[in-house]
Amino acid sequence: MSLLGLVACGPQKPTQGDTGAAQPDPAATGTATDLPGEGGDETAPALTEGRSCKRADAATPCCDRDYGVDPEQLRSACGWGEYLGEYRTTTSCQLRFAGEGEQPRAVTLAEFPGLDFQSAVDLHMSGFLGAQDGREVPGAGPHEGYFFSGLGNLVWAHIDGWAAPRRLAWSRAECSVEAMTPIVEALAKAPEIPAPARPAPEAAATPRPLPPGTHEGREKSLLARYMDRPLETPAESELPTHAMRTIVMLLERVAQDRADLLPEVLDPGARWGLPDRRQLRGRPVFEGDAGRSFLDALRGAANRFEAEAKFACPPLSPQGSAMVARGEAPMWCAYHSKDGLDLLVFRLRGSEAGARIDYVGLFETRPSEALRADGEPPPPPMRPTDAIRAERKAAQPAPPKRG
């Protein structure tokens, strides 16, 4: 599989082979398997600590936080069976309920730290291109304190009111929008429940030596390649010309354990999460610990890649290159492992200070299978001109029917 097929290429029908590319099917029947995360997240480290919960599956940890949802209110409003408990997935959190047969009912919860409410909605809606407008549900659009969108049977409610916007997703084949609306309205007015503290990185003298490479990086890792190089001083840079140079400057600082120099190449509002253009599980780089958690995660992930790991950015048309150069659109680049499962993904954007990275996607532990993101919205376009072509195609009149 090509690199570009691994960085959430969409929109498309659900697939299990494309990392981060599983999309909601407009013809979905609306079962829990259409929502994110069939297959619990037993290996990914929890983002927070100190929570206890009722678990739907003993093999998966509790969700990272309490989103303020009352399971009994959900069960009553939707006419579902017994509350089974929380089910933490790779991409989000589910509350599961007994359904017909062995198939549970579920709502999926996520939050968007580091984004304000409108930015979270804009990110969500940025993948609905052309004929897919994300408004295929009753009441779609903005309301006081929340925003409804939908595609086929899937419904998303973005909810304001807390420091980090929340999102609740469900299938309207299992619970109507009308039944769920009072719950969404109550969530928008509910007082914020503080999130448990994130585990802090252990204090250590810096710079720390680079640990031996692992997996494909055992002989010489991607980070070892940049460990002893003089740090390149950020100079005048522009996109798309200096995309790889900007990423290399980040890897040099990570290899040499220089969290203090991350602001030279990262945007002040930079976020990191899973390697997917929807920024799944994204959170701020610099919030709380000045980038130490991010640096440790990228250090561990990049050490799994071989020194000559494949690197690529999607080719841009002249129009797309001009949009990226003016800062009107981002560009995406990535490293990937030989088997295509492990990814390092970077989103870059032009600014007055030059080229900057504003999102880094990675796996904190090496995946054994492709990332599943069932039930997530379509990803933002890989190239800026993808959106333009989709809009033009949608505006074209349908060809006349023959015969």
| Both structure tokens of 393 | 């195609």
CA 218 to chain centre: 28
Give the pLDDT score at 391.
73
- Rounded to an integer, what distance in angstroms lies between the CA atom of residue 139 and that of residue 141? 6
For residue 351, count CB atoms less than 10 angstroms from its CB and return exposed for 0-12, middle for 13-18, buried for 19 or more: middle
Residue 134, helix vs strand vs coil? coil
In eight-state DSSP terms, residue 5 is G
Question: How many CB atoms lie under 10 A from the CB of residue 212?
Answer: 10
Give the pLDDT score at 18.
30
- Looking up tokens 């990228």 gives 298
Peptide bond into 263 cis (omega under 30): no
- Rounded to an integer, what distance in angstroms lies between the CA atom of residue 380 and that of residue 376? 12
Instruction: Enumerate the CATH 3.40.1000 domain ranges in the chain, comma separated.
Output: 4-39+46-189
Residues contacting residue 159 through CB under 8 Å, at least 6 positions apart: 145, 146, 165, 166, 167, 168, 184, 187, 188
C-alpha dihedral, 334 to 338 to 343 to 345, nearest 10°:
0
- State the CATH class of domain 4-39+46-189: alpha beta
Mean pLDDT by 10 residues, the chain (403 residues): 40 30 32 38 48 87 92 96 93 92 91 96 91 84 96 96 96 96 97 84 77 94 93 84 95 95 95 97 93 96 97 94 93 96 96 92 95 88 84 68 60
* CA atoms within a 13 Å half-sphere pointing along the CA-CB vector of 16: 6
- Rounded to an integer, what distance in angstroms lies between the CA atom of residue 353 and that of residue 249? 15
Give the pLDDT score at 52.
84
Backbone angles phi, psi at 200, to 5 degrees: -85, 145
* CA atoms within a 13 Å half-sphere pointing along the CA-CB vector of 149: 22
Give the pLDDT score at 402.
64
Angle formed at CA 281 by CA 278 and CA 284, multiple of 5 degrees: 100
Instruction: Enumerate the CATH 3.10.450 domain ranges in the chain, comma separated.
Output: 215-371
- State the CATH class of domain 215-371: alpha beta
- Looking up tokens 């549970």 gives 104
- Rounded to an integer, what distance in angstroms lies between the CA atom of residue 271 and that of residue 24? 25
Read off the pTM.
0.86
